[in-house]
Every structure is written in structure tokens, then in C-alpha cells.
Amino acid sequence: MRILGIETSCDETAASVIEKSENLNIVTNVVSSSIDFHAKTGGIIPEVAAREQTKLIIPVIEEALKEVKDIDAIAVTNGPGLNGSLLIGVETAKTLSFALNKPLIPVNHLLGHVYANWIDRIEVPQFPAIALIVSGGHTDLVYIRDHEKIKWLGGTKDDAVGEAFDKIGRLLGFPYPGGPEIEKAANKYKGPDLNFPRPMIGSNDFDFSFSGLKTAVLRETLQGFVNRENEIAFSVQKAVVDVLVSKTLKAIKKYKVKSLILGGGVAANQKLRDELELKSPVQLFIPRKNLCTDNGAMIAAAAFYNKKVVSWKKIKVDPSLHF
Ligand code: KG4
Ligand code: ZN
């Protein structure tokens, strides 16, 4: 069985065909990003992102289907994300579903990040599992009892972790997106960290808060930061990773799970990967780096296990879709 996955929730236009025999395997995977546009403005302007989506969606899907003879279903991200960007993917998927007479499966983007861990793997996560989703728009801890049985445990009260990286990156004069830049700069620094606040690290819940960290960095940079970018980046990364790891370990302990699943763009961060690998008492699953950031493969993968088929007439975009 083959599913075409379409993802347009933010600034990536992506389409992929995934095949399921015993496991899920990538047949094709095309990702086109308008990130260079957003680098110029230091962040995403939703209107610009949506316009880029309209230009890229057809060529990207054509490329993904070029060598593929047939597909059995179409999966598309219907939220959460930017309204205009989501609409382009959903309208295109609707048209394809009608024209090709194939079932249409709406997929929650966050679930896609979880199911990136099922792609091209012989060994897949065992349930129950804890998943930590860390992206530009989200920081969520969830408990997964089984496919389609998910309980949201907590999330950010203000900025998402990737958003905090991006805003702090801008303070430090790094290009957008700030996450990978902060990682690069942090790797150049050796020494003690500045001990930035670890907001909510000891709170009796599974929530996060990152806006205070941004303010602490702002205060630090106001004192002048010439030649101190690497030290600040190192300290920011350390504070963020400490909080994420601490809360995740707490969830693993409380829910007595068999696996830990990491997903989302920030899961590409090597420090976070290494720390979780070192400290997780259960088997850790992290997608390879190109499947951490947004892609269509993860949307198709999630659709195999969450087959809520809807009519093309009924599918709806929901920019604030929750778990
Ligand atoms: O999942 P994603 O591609 O898009 C959303 O769904 O938001 O995540 C993008 C986010 C950006 O905030 C970016 O700065 C962050 O992931 N990111 C990283 C790294 N690579 C991407 N953050 C830290 N370290 C990285 N290596
Ligand atoms: Zn994402």
C-alpha cells in the first residue's frame, strides 16, 4: 500500500510517497523550503509563506509522483500551522482526492513528527511511549498508549522552544532560523556556561516556559556581546536542553513507558539528542535529521496508523489543531 503525504503547514512545501509492506519505507521524498525568503526578513511573514506555497506545491507533488505508478490514498496536514499555508496543501489534496478518486486522510502535523520515527526502521517504538515534540511552533509532552490513543501531558506556556531559539538567534545577529545557528555557535565554545534561568524546571507539571530565557539573553546582550556570541549560544542551548531533558525524564518515570520518542525540528539538535541518549532509561527513537524538520514522509507515515478518512467535501483546515 502506498500513501502520498502532503505537508504545507509553514515554510516547507513537501510531498512524499511512503510504502508499507512489513515496515514503512520511503519511495520518494521531496522538500522545498522558502526559508531563504524568510532569512531576508528575519522571520516568517505568513502571507509570503503562503504565496511561496502556491508556487511550489504542484512542482513538488509532480516530482514526488514522477516515478510512482499508483497510490492508494492521499494524506495531508490540516493543522496546526499557518492558515494560508495549510490551505494550499489541503485544497491541492482535495482536488487530487476528487480527480483520482482516492481516499483523503487529514493528519495532525504534530502526529507527523511522532511518526517520523516509523520511517525506514526495522525496529519501531513500543507502546506505551512518551513523545517529546519540539519545533518552531510547539513544545509538547504526550503519553501514547497505542496508535490513536494519545494523552497530552503538557506544553509551553509561551514561546515554543524553536521559536525561542529563533528569537534569541536574532538577538545575537544570526540569520533565520536561529536554532541551527545557535547549535553551530555553541559548538565553538568551551568553558563554563552563564547559568541562564531554567524556567519551570522544578514545577510539578509537564509544562514549559521559554520567554524568560529570551529576556535573560536580552539583558545579557545589552551589556554588549561582541565576541561573546558563542558563549551565550552555548549557555542558551544548555539551559534549554536541561529543561527539556528534566521534564521528559519525569514523564518517563511517572508513566512507566517502554520507549521515548523525539520529534520536530529541534530534535535535529545534537546536544539534545546526545543528552537524551545518555539519560533515557528506556529505548530512545529519534528520526534522522532530514526527517526531524517538516516533510511529507512523516505525514504519510502517520496516516498509515491513523486512518480517519474524510470526504474531500468535508476536510477542514484547523490552524490551532491540538493533540
Ligand atoms: O518542525 P519544524 O521544521 O517546523 C515547525 O513545525 O515549526 O521546526 C523548525 C524549528 C525552527 O525553530 C528551527 O530553529 C529549529 O526547528 N531547529 C533547530 C535545529 N534545527 C532546526 N533548533 C535547534 N537546533 C537545531 N539543530
Ligand atoms: Zn513541524
pLDDT digits (tens, 9 = 90+) for 117-151: 999 999 999 999 999 999 999 999 999 999 999 99
Looking at the DSSP assignment, which residues form a beta bridge with residue 178? none
**pLDDT at residue 298, as a whole number:** 98
Over residues 4-19, the pLDDT tens digits come to: 999 999 989 999 999 9
How far apart are the C-alpha atoms of 263 and 140, rounded to whole Å?
10
Residues 6+ away with beta carbon under 8 Å from 79 = 9, 86, 108, 109, 317, 318, 319, 320, 321
Kindly report the protein residue whose alpha carbon is nearest to atom 2 of ligand 1.
Answer: 265
Q: What is the 294 CA–ligand 1 centroid distance (Å)?
A: 9
- What does the mean pLDDT of the chain come to? 95
Note the pLDDT of residue 122. Answer: 93
Q: Which residue's alpha carbon is at the smallest distance from atom 16 of ligand 1?
A: 265
Ligand at shortest distance from the CA of 267? 1
pLDDT at 39: 76
The residue nearest atom 10 of ligand 1, judged by CA position, is 136
Write out the three cell numbers for 260.
521515548
How far, in Å, from the CA of 276 to the mean position of ligand 1? 17
Ligand 2 center–CA 145 separation, angstroms = 22
Band (224; pLDDT cuts 50, 70, 90): confident
CA angle, 215 then 219 then 225, to 5°: 125
Q: Which ligand is nearest to the CA of 31?
A: 1
Nearest 5°: the CA angle 42, 32, 176 is 15
Query: What does the block give as the cell for 3?
Result: 500513501
pLDDT-derived band at 42, boundaries 50, 70, 90:
confident
Kindly tell me if the per-residue pLDDT of 194 is higher than 90: yes
The closest of 273, 301, 303, 300 to 289, measured between CA atoms, is 273
Mean pLDDT confidence for 150-156 = 97
Q: How many C-beta atoms surround the C-beta of residue 316 within 10 A?
A: 11
Confidence tier at 84 by pLDDT (50, 70, 90): very high
* Residue 178, pLDDT score: 96
- 264 alpha carbon – ligand 1 mean position (Å): 7
**Coil, strand or helix at 285:** strand
Confidence of residue 230 (pLDDT cuts 50, 70, 90): very high
Split at pLDDT 50, 70, 90, the class of 35 is confident
DSSP at 322: -
Q: Write down the pTM of the prediction.
A: 0.94
Give distance in angstroms: CA of 240 to centre of ligand 1.
13
| Residue nearest (by alpha carbon) to ligand 1 atom 23 | 179
C-alpha of residue 268 to centroid of ligand 1, in Å: 7
Q: Tell me: the pLDDT tens digits for 89-99?
A: 999 999 999 99
169 CA: nearest ligand 1 atom = 14
Ligand nearest to the CA of 268: 1
> Dihedral (C-alpha) 224, 226, 227, 229: value to the nearest 10 degrees?
70
Which ligand is closest to the CA of 236, given by its number? Answer: 1
pLDDT for the residue numbered 154: 98
Q: Whose CA is nearest to atom 14 of ligand 1?
A: 179
Confidence of residue 38 (pLDDT cuts 50, 70, 90): confident
- pLDDT attached to residue 269: 97
Ligand 1 closest atom vs CA 161: 12
User: Given a cut of 80, is residue 37 above it in pLDDT?
Assistant: no
Mean pLDDT for the stretch of residues 23-50 = 87
Q: What whole-number distance in Å separates Cα of residue 43 and Cα of residue 60?
A: 23
Reduced to 3 states (helix: H, G, I; strand: E, B; else coil), residue 287 is coil
What is the DSSP secondary-structure string of 161-173?
Answer: HHHHHHHHHHHTT
